[in-house]
Amino acid sequence: MQTSKAERYIGLCIKAGKLTCGFNALAAERKEVYLLILCASASENAKKSALKLKNKFGCELLEYSRGLLEDLTGKTNAKIAAVREKNLAKAILSVLDDDLKIYSGGKG
């Protein structure tokens, strides 16, 4: 399976140390967050928590549906990730596709 541009940008975030994974880590995050990425396999409670984090940080929330977010990030059982670098967040938002789209909340 070929890697999309958005996935490559997420890889750059990891290499730069600008990606935080997990709900507990994000709840304690004090730095600026520019983009949240939620795994499509997340539970309904996790999705509600993600919407709360979206409101806390005032940023976009994307849903990743190509595979598991943990496979993309290399973090076991990761259901949410945060991009903490403004330009990388803008780059990811500029190359959205069917596998990575804006999450509107709710079912479906």
Query: For 96-106, how does the pLDDT look when each residue is reduced to its tens digit (9 = 90+)?
Result: 988 899 997 65
pTM here? 0.92
Query: For 75-89, how does the pLDDT look when each residue is reduced to its tens digit (9 = 90+)?
Result: 999 999 999 999 999
Query: For 9-26, how does the pLDDT look when each residue is reduced to its tens digit (9 = 90+)?
Result: 999 999 999 999 999 999
Calpha distance 74→93 (Å, rounded): 21
Burial class (CB in 10 A: 0-12, 13-18, 19+), 21: buried
Length, in residues, of the chain: 108
Phi-psi region of 77 (alpha: psi -120 to 50; beta: other; left: phi over 0): left
Burial class (CB in 10 A: 0-12, 13-18, 19+), 58: exposed
How confident is the model at residue 81, as a pLDDT?
A: 97
How confident is the model at residue 108, as a pLDDT?
A: 40
